[in-house]
A and B are shown apart, each in its own frame.
Chain A
């Protein structure tokens, strides 16, 4: 019997399927599209199997190739990593189900291979316990994403893909430089090992690698002003890909920043600086989203805004702040992932990404519109949806040790929430009460696509109405991060 509770499986399974798809593409023909579904179904099972282990021990560590850390590659899943990998698997699963009905453009096997690789890379990024692996996962993700953004091969997609390629490569280089600096300073790549050795470095010695790593991950994590590729790439990519990019990629990159900042660098002086970044990201994301006519662009900018919000919560550097950040990450991943899927189905029907062409869809695509409304409400933070609880937590946390700057930040956040409400309600009222001028035959999206949407929507609704388990889980996860349990646990469990 295979021990399912092994984090390595989370990476190995989709990687294996990636190659399987690439190899079998020529003879399985359209059958390849079912392979990602199987891969992510397995990933979900593995993630679920990990839950009892993680709850019991606080962390699960797996090593490869028979070496012991710090020399071996190791995967370390703690509470937060588990939760995010679970969401990544879930989103990967529903998006691949969605792909069954969504992708009809050739070359299919390449799309599915890249798609599986993308999610594999993201999961890898989340659960890795060693920074060089982080870089590898980052590059794997980027390569898959470059290809997927340009998948439609029209002018816009290729331009967006190219922009992303250039900026992503720069980001990768900076990340690598940062990692090399750290390696030079400490002589090891294992996160826990580095963490123990950085304590005798000066602030300045730590700051340089940090700046590099932050810039590298910040490009992927959609932090202003490094995020300029995002508003082009998300709309250009196929919707299922946008859903992953928006729902998981930014979250994963921010997760990596959180993990490294807290575990390795461990400085307090930096947070104020990060907060400025977060607020700028929030303001520019939300305000830009308000002016968009293209629905996917609007959602993409909204992703930037959301990222700013949970990055802000992280930069508070308190247990409550982190808890809020994690809750908001969950909310964002599920809602935004779902919104991109819904919108993809709508665009298929309407044949346009212009919001004005969505007029009257609320009457024709009832289920899709309903879930779009739920996702939008949750992102706006309206009760009783999950976004309300996370926004509540973030604001409570922000005012915890309030000074004038924090109060001003809270005002900015809430002002931006108003802006967010403004564009989402505009979208909703166009959808439900607008009058369709063009005579387009619009039907409800296919059942398969709806299935994906409904699954995500149901998960969102469940955690909306029973937020307590998630809230408590996130509280523990946040406390572990702040108390640096990661290091102690990893040491105890042989992560070093």
Chain B
């Protein structure tokens, strides 16, 4: 019982910490690529603290305020369904398919809140976000199905267990893994998929009206989001990890490659993004799926 409560408290904090660390590294990393010195490495922490402690917060209504709260609640919920370092937590209460939908809770909450701000930029941002989600969902479900069929289960912890001792899905399902990487990348909204927030077009999109503690919450949520997406990829294709450090390293490796891509790519138009996802990633994922089916 005590252990359960401990896990319940530690797991989200750990996830947050990992996500936050990626945010910190990214700021610095981007700056160095752009030949700048960049802010101090703990700048994101300062940002979040500053935002949370701001005294003047504005709100456009209850739903506007609830949006970030639902977003965080959804993200925390997702954390419990992703096994990490041998801890299975709630994977017995919801499998991979359930997780796909659990992960949507936060985004939908966020969308609700942003919609309530009555700002057209926010609405356009959400329209783009949902469209993009529709776009990457097709290859995503295909690779999820491939993995589930490969290991004859949709239980994430079982999938992780089956990949023990280096039998990673990355080796057995390389095509799926590549697509999985692209999809995770798209889900994080990095270049060229940063259509949602696109500062020069829709003024950061859904977040346009958010400030103060609301924005702080959204930044926290972003940390969770980073963690959840990457951790899921690690669990699915890189065999999870037996301890937290290896897990972190694997996650970091994935994140590092992503940052590289992020810096060199321009931005898609939203319909081009959907077309992109429905073309190559889908075709590759289908090929991989058919290989699994035939095998």
Q: Do A and B interact directly, with beta carbons closer than 8 Å?
A: no
Binding site for A on B (CB under 8 A): none
Binding site for B on A (CB under 8 A): none
